[in-house]
Amino acid sequence: MEKTHYTQEINITEALMTRINELISHYPADKKKSALLPVLHEVQDAHDNWLSIELQNKVAEILEIKPIEVYEVVTFYTMFNQRPIGKYMFEFCQTSPCCQRGVEDLMDYTCDKLGVKVGEPTSDKMFEVRGVECLGACGYAPMMQLGDFYQENLTKEKIDQLISDCKEGKITLHDK
């Protein structure tokens, strides 16, 4: 399978670098690597919610670690995106409680509604559907994460409303 190489403009602004340095300051000077996860989150947020190889290399340079140490983390955690993604990422929990409550049907319904397959952004890059591991809200199954927020007790009607609200710009993605 051929892998597409995506490029992006690296824009480490003064404000972003100040924030990165503040995060690094929470750890001993000889343990800068400990700041890797929060730094990756900040850098990803500042770069359209994804991290190119070049941007990952920049993070390694800033933290004075080997690039492979960044790649290992980025490829392990689903919260880090290695390619451009849809603005509204519908991340459906696919573990047992959600599956027992019909999440797979809701994912199919959402994909049909948006005209995409799982893991494929819409042509306008507005939406994407992804299956993820347990989000820890089993009592509210079926559920998904949209940005920083959980959407719980999902139904087709709730999916329709979420899509509509996203299109109308009514959805807040981040709690910052």
**pLDDT tens-digit profile of 59-82?**
999 999 999 999 999 999 888 999
Helix, strand or coil, per DSSP, at residue 64 = coil
Higher pLDDT, 25 or 133: 25
Whether residue 175 has pLDDT greater than 80: no
Token readout for 40 is: 């990756």
Average pLDDT on 15-29 reads 96
d(C-alpha 77, C-alpha 171), whole Å: 24
pLDDT tens for each residue of 143-157: 999 988 999 999 999
> Average pLDDT for residues 32-46, to the nearest whole number?
96
**Strand ordering across the sheet containing 127-132:** 127-132, 88-93, 144-146, 149-151
Sequential DSSP letters for 131-151: EES--S-GGG-S-EEETTEEE
pLDDT surpassing 70 at residue 103: yes
- Beta bridge partner(s), residue 89: 128
Q: DSSP class of residue 135?
A: -
End-to-end CA distance of the chain: 38
* 48 confidence band (pLDDT: 50, 70, 90): confident
Per-residue pLDDT at 153? 97
Residue 53 identity (one-letter amino acid): I
pLDDT at 124: 94
pLDDT number for residue 2: 56
What's this model's pTM, rounded to 2 decimal places?
0.79
pLDDT at site 78:
83
Q: Distances from the Cα of 128 to the Cαs of 24, 142, 151, in angstroms?
A: 32, 18, 15
